[in-house]
Amino acid sequence: MSNQDFLHRFLFEEQGIRGEWIQLTDSWQAIKKNQQGPEPAQQLLGQALAAVAMLSATIKFEGSLILQAQGDGAIKTLVAQATHDRKIRGLIRSDAFVPTGSLEDMFGSGNLVLTIKPDHADPYQGIIALQGQNLAMAFEGYFSQSEQLKTRLWLFANDTQAVGFLLQQLPGNTDSSHWEHIEILANTLKEHELMTLNCQQILYRLFHEENIRLFEAEPVSFQCICSKARIETILKNLGQEELDSILRERGNVEVGCEFCNTNYHFDAIDITKLFSSQDFAQSSTTRH
């Protein structure tokens, strides 16, 4: 993994404001090579990956944060996921042509669903309207309205990297003057600076007169959670009758992962083993 693939958290201790910076290079390339689509769609996927990785760092939990969007426009589906240990994956499905412009221009009508999925607790979902000029503005509106947290996001992606910068007022901080001061300074941040400068350089460029605590860098990498065991569970849920029908029609059952393009193949013997092992396990638990 490249040493550019990491996330930095930082804190304005006197103002009650937290921030994050992220740059994805190798992980972005690994994800992008499995996803086809025009440049506007690819850029949106990169921005979404940077966003979920940063947002996952603001939440104290073990599990994953998932962003899902579906529309009736040129972009059909967008999914970006980040785990608590900064493993990311994502996919996008779109028409061959995607217009540049607002989220409505690209998605048509639809919603963005943000799901927080802890490993040992019930999931929580928030709905974000697919409105605004870009993904960053949609997130800012969500945190302002649903979480009552003043938030600013800068998200950019090109063919080689995806980058992001986040500022957010800490819960319980009601002093708007500190926020306004930091926001004015941050508003001078330019896309080319995020693309070319590291975190320390950006913080010095924007806030060299402020007292900032910079935390250790956290590595970010692409990792798909698909596995043969997970696919077998999905197939069992379909039921043997459905799978036998597929076997008669095609000769085998093939399941492909949309995130990493790994293909899993199951023949008639594999399917028989799936359900015979399940039946054996069930009979073993009921034997007296």
- Give the confidence band of 277 by pLDDT, cuts at 50, 70, 90: low
203 and 118, same domain (yes or no): yes
271 and 235, same domain (yes or no): yes
Average pLDDT of span 110-114:
92
Angle at 226 between CA 222 and CA 229, to 5 degrees: 150
Residue 237 within a domain? yes
57 and 168, same domain (yes or no): yes
Average pLDDT of span 31-44:
94
Per residue in 119-162, pLDDT (tens digit) is: 889 999 999 888 899 999 999 988 988 888 999 999 999 999 99
Count of C-beta atoms within a 10 Å radius of residue 3: 10
Question: Considering the chain, what is the average pLDDT of its residues?
Answer: 91
Structural domains in the chain (count): 2
60 and 144, same domain (yes or no): yes
Per residue in 181-191, pLDDT (tens digit) is: 999 999 999 99
Residue 16 within a domain? yes
Residue 286 has pLDDT above 70, yes or no: no
48 and 81, same domain (yes or no): yes
Q: What is the CATH number of the domain that holds 50?
A: 3.55.30.10
Domain final position from 222, 255, 272? 222
Look up the domain containing 276 and give its range: 228-282
Residue 184 within a domain? yes
- pTM listed for this prediction: 0.87
255 and 188, same domain (yes or no): no
Residue 58 within a domain? yes
Q: What is the CATH number of the domain that holds 265?
A: 3.90.1280.10
Q: Which position has the higher pLDDT, 223 or 3?
A: 223
pLDDT at 4: 66
240 and 202, same domain (yes or no): no
127 and 269, same domain (yes or no): no
Residue 1 within a domain? no
What one-letter code names the amino acid at 9? R
Helix or strand holding residue 152 (H, E): strand 151-157
- Give the confidence band of 287 by pLDDT, cuts at 50, 70, 90: very low
Residue 1 has pLDDT above 50, yes or no: no
Q: Which position has the higher pLDDT, 145 or 94?
A: 94
57 and 128, same domain (yes or no): yes
Residue 239 within a domain? yes
82 and 148, same domain (yes or no): yes
Residue 31 within a domain? yes
Burial class (CB in 10 A: 0-12, 13-18, 19+), 218: middle
Please name the residue ranges forming H helices in 129-239. Answer: 135-146, 176-186, 191-196, 199-207, 228-238
Per residue in 165-219, pLDDT (tens digit) is: 999 999 988 889 999 999 999 999 999 999 999 999 999 999 999 999 999 999 9
81, 220 Cβ separation under 8 angstroms: no
168 and 273, same domain (yes or no): no
Average pLDDT of span 44-61:
94
187 and 235, same domain (yes or no): no
Domain final position from 172, 204, 222? 222
Q: How far apart are CA 217 and CA 199, in angstroms?
A: 10
Residue 258 within a domain? yes
Task: Give Cα 208 to chain centroid, integer Å.
Answer: 31
pLDDT at 105: 96
